[in-house]
Amino acid sequence: MEEQLIKTLKSLNQIEPESNFSTLLKQQVFAAPQRNSRLPSFSRWALESLKFAGALTLASLLIFAIFNGLLSFGNGVRSSALTSLNKERMLAEAKNADFEINLREIRYYEHSAQEVAAVFDKVLENKNAL
Amino acid sequence: MLEGEEKLIKSIQGGETHLFGQLYDHYLPKIYRFVLLKVGQKEESEDIVHDVFINAWQNLGTYSSKGFPFSSWLYHIARNKVIDYYRLKKPTTHLEDLDDSFVKVASNAEKLFDINLDLEKVKSAIQKLTPEQQDVVIMKFVEDLTHQEIAAALNKSEGAVRLLQHRAINNLKNLLTAV
Amino acid sequence: MLYKNFNNVVLVLAAGILLFPIFVLAQKPELKGALNEIVKIKGGNIETPASQKDALKKILELTALEIKDLQSQLNKLKDLSADHVKLKNQFLLDLENYLKNLESFNNELSADGAILDPIQNLAAKLKSWRENVYNPAAQNIVTFLLIYREQTILKIADDRYDRISSDVKKLALAKLFETDELEILLNEAAANLKAAHALNDEAKIALTKLLESPEINNVQNSEEKPQLSDVQELVKKSLAKIKVVYQIFFEMSSLVKKLL
């Protein structure tokens, strides 16, 4: 089924916009003003280099400053995640969500009704037999 | 990806703006399909696609190809436009709302392939996925993007994209067998 | 060490599912005992007036125990909507009336001595009462209880989700590893929980409609009344969504274990 599904999905590739729409939109796009024209290449290079150098310096300082703090925070977070995702507890909770288990009460009353009806029938059989 | 795409984009950014037409011709059908399969309404999809390409045209100067394919950038814009659309309009989208032209194009596709799965049911099922699952299914299977391209478009790790793909396919299978 | 391997998990789950009904009935040994008595009578000889009188007596005892059990369960319910508080109170009132009916049947039974005809007339009356009044009411009540039992299960799942969500946020802040896969799974769990809540709400509305008075029903008779099985089906679907939520939680647990 998965193979067929993927084949069908690939076939959606045939969808195309209407040619009127395509032509009109192209005209509209070219008619729209452009923003953020590119800087000359040297200025661009200089800007990028500055950005990178600044980022590197800041990163080094931050790494040094927060390293110890992160370690202790990290350990606390680890144990918390293990607790909230504790499999045994989740298993017990998941068990309660089983429909058949929850339906037992309804089944009990259906069963009780059937057994009692059977006894009534047997009692009343004898009336007819008399 | 368009052949020589990086060079083409650099040329456009360098001032040869008339070359944008090549990008437009290559990506319009892809972005149109992406938006239409998510939104489901032809007119609204055309409006969104209009906004996507205007945005791309106007902001191409800010695009930088370092590890971020152009397709990913464009899909990123498209995704955001779809999110804006839902935020503003809160439409109730149903397959019945799709007009004839959408159905006709899709049914032509159905004739070309010997497939048992009803195209309409698949399109309807896609609409029932979460937005992220829709993105991955459309980009991966309809548009044949790589996991890397999809990850860049969605700002996620490749692992997350694979997980979304796996979940999306399972959900589609469940939706289609329940019908 | 905190995590058992997959096979052990399956064994524990299977054992739990098999043992749970025994556990439930064990909690109500009187009911179980009384029903066993009825089953024994069914299999035996009930041709004599004395044995028929005894059979009816046992049926009345069983019915009284069932009514008391239903009263006890209803009284334990919490967080009901306003409509359902009224419904619960109505059920309790009905059950009180049924106990009075039983008292009246008991008095008739005691007065009859060991004469066949009156006993069988009483049997016919009691049968009709059970089948037309008591049994349908009991089924309505246990379906009502089912909806609220499910609501409790939903609350537990919500709490589990909140705890996990809080921890995922902390993990994201700690930046020990990429958490976007966990976030994807969490979002999916949230979507399934939302769906489970919606189905539970639908079940409540359906049950309310089902138990609407005939006068109201006449005014709105263009709408088809839901059946008990429809209500039960909604609860079944809601529980199925909750199970999916826990499957996702298990997947998250494995993922966290791998990442840590």
- CA-wise closest residue to B37 among C1, C231, A14, A112: A14
CATH number, domain B1-94: 1.10.1740.10
- Contacts with A, B 93-132, CB within 8 Å: 101-102, 105-106, 108-110, 112-113, 115-117, 119, 122-123
Tally of domains within chain C: 1
pLDDT (0 to 100) of residue A95: 82
Mean pLDDT, residues C171-199 taken together? 89
Average pLDDT of chain C? 83
pLDDT tier at A4 (50, 70, 90 boundaries)?
confident
Nearest residue, CB atoms, C187 vs list B130, B157, B159: B130
A8 touches chain B (CB under 8 A): yes
Under CATH, which architecture does the B105-179 domain have?
Answer: Orthogonal Bundle (1.10)
Enumerate the residues of chain C whose CB falls inside 8 A of the CB of residue A83: 163, 167
C-beta separation of C63 from C35 below 8 A: no
Kindly give the parts of chain B with pLDDT less than 70.
Answer: 89-117, 179
C-beta separation of B137 from B168 below 8 A: yes
Residue C181 C-alpha, separation from nearest chain B C-alpha, in angstroms: 5
C-beta separation of B105 from A17 below 8 A: no
How many Å from the N-terminal Cα to the C-terminal Cα in chain C? 13
- pLDDT tens-digit series, residues B114-136: 344 578 889 889 999 989 999 99
How many Å from the N-terminal Cα to the C-terminal Cα in chain A? 65
Rounded Cα gap, residues C152 and C146, in angstroms = 10
B170 touches chain C (CB under 8 A): no
Q: Kind and range of the H or E element at B156? A: none
How far is CA C21 from its chain centroid? 13
- CA-wise closest residue to A12 among B125, B164, B69: B125
Q: Which two tokens stand for residue A59?
A: 């990163």
pLDDT (0 to 100) of residue C20: 40
Burial of A71 (0-12, 13-18, 19+ CB in 10 A): exposed
Length of chain C: 260
A31 touches chain B (CB under 8 A): no
CB atoms under 10 Å from CB of C36, counted, come to 12
* Dihedral sign (CA A90, C177, B162, C161): positive
pLDDT (0 to 100) of residue A126: 67
Nearest residue, CB atoms, B106 vs list A15, A32, A37: A15
Question: What ipTM goes with this model?
Answer: 0.79
B164 touches chain C (CB under 8 A): yes
- CA-wise closest residue to A16 among B45, C96, C242: B45
B47 touches chain C (CB under 8 A): no
Cα radius of gyration rounded to whole Å, chain C:
25
Judged by CB atoms closer than 8 Å, whether chains meet at C52 and A130 is answered as no
Q: Which two tokens stand for residue C65?
A: 């125990």
pLDDT (0 to 100) of residue B91: 45
Nearest residue, CB atoms, C180 vs list B130, B160, B167: B160
Q: What residue numbers bound the domain in which C34 lies?
A: 20-259
Judged by CB atoms closer than 8 Å, whether chains meet at A12 and B122 is answered as yes
Judged by CB atoms closer than 8 Å, whether chains meet at B163 and C181 is answered as yes
- CA-wise closest residue to B141 among A22, A18, C188, A2: A2
Q: Is residue C12 part of a domain?
A: no
C-beta separation of C225 from C209 below 8 A: yes
Would you say the CATH fold of B105-179 matches that of B1-94?
no
Domain ranges of chain B: 1-94, 105-179
- Contacts with C, A 15-44, CB within 8 Å: none
The proportion of chain C whose per-residue pLDDT surpasses 90, expressed as a percent, equals 50
pLDDT tier at C129 (50, 70, 90 boundaries)?
very high
Judged by CB atoms closer than 8 Å, whether chains meet at C185 and B156 is answered as no
Nearest residue, CB atoms, B32 vs list A17, A33, A35: A17
Q: Which of C65-74, C186-195, C208-217 has the lowest mean pLDDT?
A: C208-217
- CA-wise closest residue to A94 among C160, C187, C186: C160
